[in-house]
Amino acid sequence: MPERIAIEVVHAAAGRHERVPLQLPAGSTVLQAITASGLLQRFPEIDLSRNKVGIFGRLVEAEAPLRSGDRVEIYRPLIADPKEVRRRRAAEGRAMKKGAATP
């Protein structure tokens, strides 16, 4: 019997998230795990040409091999650039310290 590995695939959408534990053959890839999880059917908004994927918070390619215990994560596209959001908040904070009224 071929060796199997235990992994999980997770995805969080607005208001709901899913975690799918799987047993896969050794040598399986991230893409094979995502396909086997059924999340592509339950979350039709997932587009693997746009959504990035990772293992434990580290971006990887879809063909990356998995090891037992890995957590495959499907990320949502960013709505806003985090750097721009921080920049805007910092500018608002400086304006408040100077006593400027907010519109």
pLDDT tens across 1-53, in order? 569 999 999 999 888 899 999 999 999 999 999 999 999 999 999 999 989 99
What is the mean predicted confidence (pLDDT) over 57-78?
A: 94
Asked if residue 103 has pLDDT above 70, the reply is no
Question: What is the structure's pLDDT at 94?
Answer: 65
State the pLDDT at residue 98.
60
For residue 74, count CB atoms less than 10 angstroms from its CB and return exposed for 0-12, middle for 13-18, buried for 19 or more. buried
Q: For the chain, give every domain's residue range.
A: 4-97
* pTM recorded for the entire structure: 0.74
**Average pLDDT of span 83-89:** 81
Quick one: pLDDT at residue 15?
A: 83
CATH 3.40.462.10 correct for 4-97: no
Alpha-carbon distance of 68 to 26, in angstroms, equals: 8
